């Protein structure tokens, strides 16, 4: 999963087809943000906020807001680091 996430971050903006596929992957990230495992939630947030696409900016902001109120300190720390991205 981590390898796929890294691939998406690096190739999300390569061409139009990659941009469309990256937009389709956002649903998977949003599901992972609700996962019971804090590491999965943190990874999903980190990767989703690392994708350099303006189309998903509002989704990224909503995910950071939700993660900043998470019960896990790891997820809250990841949310704080994601603000600068």
- Give 31-51 as a 3 state SS string: HHCCCCCHHHHHHHHHHHHHC
CA distance 32 to 54: 21
**pLDDT tens for the chain, residues 1 to 85:** 777 777 777 777 777 777 777 788 888 889 999 999 999 999 999 988 988 888 889 999 999 999 999 999 999 999 999 998 7
Give the side-chain half-sphere CA count within 13 A for 21: 14
Model pTM? Answer: 0.82
Please report the pLDDT score of residue 58 as a whole number: 93
Please report the pLDDT score of residue 54 as a whole number: 83
């Amino acid at each position: 999963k981590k390898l796929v996430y890294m691939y998406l971050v690096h190739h999300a903006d390569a061409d139009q087809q990659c941009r469309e596929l990256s937009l389709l992957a956002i649903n998977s990230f949003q599901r992972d943000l609700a996962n019971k495992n804090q590491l999965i939630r943190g990874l999903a947030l980190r990767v989703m906020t690392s994708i350099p696409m303006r189309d998903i900016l509002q989704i990224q902001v909503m995910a950071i807001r939700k993660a900043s109120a998470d019960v896990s300190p790891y997820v809250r720390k990841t949310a704080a680091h994601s603000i600068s991205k």
